[in-house]
């Protein structure tokens, strides 16, 4: 019976996600011409920062060093419930800084909404054609905004870029995050863009038009994963989020396992929140002209977590159902072990393909790249208990500590 259950769960997995295997081949057959529109637009940069004095200066410096005209970029920082010198450091690098104190409404979503209100009051939302969102630990390649502007000029009202890492080689945890985000950029968002369906915004490094925020009446996304909430609502509305591969951003990934668990608990809980709030409309959208984008996002935010949890529960239930039978335990262990091996090999393949194609863009020693490919599936396995726990426990937004004040030259040095 357990073997049957595991086979059924594996079959459902395949049905839900086999289309993503096809994504691997899309770039081989479909090409898009580079945008020719080079019209220069005026942009606001939005940064929500909480106790980020060690890293925010590098981000603003990388914005000031953009190849895009400096007079068309205005940087705004929300120093959100800070107890350090984030505001002073941001001001020192030329940003317009607003300090927010609100111990009740905590989180990036509330901070961005509040910051936009201050901008509208002092500058006017209509003063800008679009708005970039970055995290304080990010740094940008010099042509980032120029390249995003080209894709924006195609008529796309939301654009996301290529998310790389500035500390890939620190340990297996930072590498696990980094490889996953590289895969998301190149083997989820790039095929989606080439196929003309919608991409997904991933936390940081994205651009949206003034019309998007005017239609929403501000940044009304307050769930634990405000980026996914923003993505899902706009997909339901019929927007297609575009992808700009040539716009490269680097961010800092956690290296501490406890901090990583806390962050991913928030992400998992946020996914459940998004599905609870928007799942009905997403499923309804599957039967509309926007069917594939809605199906794709539905698969992205829910089934894998539920199916993995169901597999664990069913296998352990079989063991406890007949504790006196060593034969049952061995059979269940063998079945569960085979499933685990299949999942390990699947993630090893996906990670290997990503590592191979992005090898030159991953800034880490070759030995560490290969070593952390082997640990990548283990990193992904740790999502299973985290996702299961998120179903039952209360999760609150807490800041992630960033302590790697790297410049671009530091990142490009692979040692």
Q: What is the CA radius of gyration of the chain?
A: 22
46 pLDDT exceeds 70?
yes
Q: Collapse the DSSP code of 45 into the 3-class scheme (helix H, G, I; strand E, B; otherwise coil) and give the result.
A: strand
pLDDT of residue 415: 61
> Tens digit of pLDDT for each residue in 288-346?
888 999 999 998 887 566 666 666 676 666 666 665 566 766 776 776 777 788 889 98
pLDDT of residue 321: 65
CATH 3.40.50.1000 assigned to 42-253: no
pLDDT category, 118, cuts 50, 70, 90? very high
Mean pLDDT, residues 50-77 taken together:
97
Mean pLDDT, residues 224-232 taken together:
96
Query: How far apart (Å, rounded) are the C-alpha atoms in residues 238 and 52?
Result: 36
Query: How far apart (Å, rounded) are the C-alpha atoms in residues 364 and 355?
Result: 11
pLDDT of residue 400: 84
For residues 44 and 310, which has the higher predicted lDDT (pLDDT)?
A: 44
- 130 closest CA partner among 246, 240, 209: 209
201 pLDDT exceeds 80?
yes
In this predicted structure, which of 35-39, 48-52, 132-136 has the lowest mean pLDDT?
A: 35-39
Q: Which two tokens stand for residue 174?
A: 């930072």
Q: Pairing state of beta strands 139-140 and 158-165? A: unpaired
pLDDT of residue 319: 62
Query: How far apart (Å, rounded) are the C-alpha atoms in residues 227 and 201?
Result: 6
Mean pLDDT, residues 241-245 taken together:
97
128 pLDDT exceeds 60?
yes
Query: How far apart (Å, rounded) are the C-alpha atoms in residues 329 and 83?
Result: 54
404 pLDDT exceeds 80?
no
91 pLDDT exceeds 70?
yes
Residue range(s) occupied by CATH 3.90.550.10 in the chain: 42-253
Q: What is the mean pLDDT of the chain?
A: 90
In this predicted structure, which of 69-83, 146-160, 322-336 has the lowest mean pLDDT?
A: 322-336
Q: Contact, 380 vs 180, CB < 8 A?
A: yes
Express as a percent the part of the chain with pLDDT over 90: 71
> Tens digit of pLDDT for each residue in 273-289?
999 999 999 999 999 88
CB count within 10 Å of CB 223 equals: 22
pLDDT of residue 2: 67
The DSSP line for 116-176 is HHHHHHHT-GGG-SEEEEEETT-EE-TTHHHHHHHHHTTT-SEEEEEEEES-TTS-HHHHH
Mean pLDDT, residues 22-32 taken together:
90
213 pLDDT exceeds 60?
yes
14 pLDDT exceeds 90?
no
């Amino acid at each position: 019976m357990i073997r049957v259950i595991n086979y059924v769960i594996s079959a459902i997995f395949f049905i839900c996600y086999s289309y993503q295997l096809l994504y691997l081949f899309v770039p081989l057959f479909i090409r898009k011409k580079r945008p020719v529109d080079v019209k220069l637009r005026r942009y606001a940069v939005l940064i929500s920062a909480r106790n980020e004095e060690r890293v925010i200066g590098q981000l603003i410096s990388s914005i000031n060093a953009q190849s895009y005209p400096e007079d068309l970029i205005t940087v705004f920082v929300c120093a959100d419930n800070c107890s350090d010198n984030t505001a002073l450091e941001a001001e020192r690098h030329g940003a317009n800084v607003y300090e927010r104190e609100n111990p009740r409404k905590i989180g990036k979503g509330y901070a961005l909404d509040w910051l936009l209100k201050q901008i509208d009051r002092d500058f006017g939302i209509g003063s800008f054609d679009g708005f970039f969102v970055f995290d304080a630990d990010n740094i940008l390649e010099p042509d980032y905004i120029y390249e995003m502007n080209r894709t924006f000029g195609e008529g796309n009202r939301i654009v996301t870029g290529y998310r790389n890492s500035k500390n890939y080689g620190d340990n297996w945890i930072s590498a696990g995050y980094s490889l996953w985000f590289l895969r998301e950029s190149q083997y989820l968002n790039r095929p989606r863009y080439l196929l003309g369906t919608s991409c997904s915004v991933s936390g940081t490094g994205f651009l949206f038009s003034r019309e998007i925020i005017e239609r929403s009446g501000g940044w009304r996304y307050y769930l634990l994963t405000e980026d996914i909430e923003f993505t899902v609502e706009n997909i339901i509305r019929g927007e297609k989020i575009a992808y700009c591969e040539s716009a490269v951003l680097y961010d800092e990934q956690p290296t501490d396992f406890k901090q990583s668990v806390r962050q991913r608990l928030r992400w998992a809980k946020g996914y459940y929140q998004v599905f609870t709030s928007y799942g009905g409309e997403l499923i309804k959208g599957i039967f509309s002209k926007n069917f594939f984008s809605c199906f794709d996002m539905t698969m992205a935010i829910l089934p894998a977590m539920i199916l993995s949890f169901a597999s664990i529960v069913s296998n352990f239930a079989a063991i406890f159902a007949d504790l006196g039978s060593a034969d049952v335990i061995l059979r269940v262990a063998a079945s569960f072990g085979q499933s685990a091996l299949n999942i390990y090999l699947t993630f090893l393949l996906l990670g290997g393909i990503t590592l191979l194609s992005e090898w030159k863009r991953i800034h880490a020693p070759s030995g560490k790249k290969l070593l952390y490919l082997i640990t990548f599936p283990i990193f992904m396995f740790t999502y299973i208990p985290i996702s299961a726990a998120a179903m039952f426990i209360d999760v609150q937004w807490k800041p992630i500590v960033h302590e790697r004040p790297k410049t671009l030259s530091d990142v490009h040095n692979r040692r």
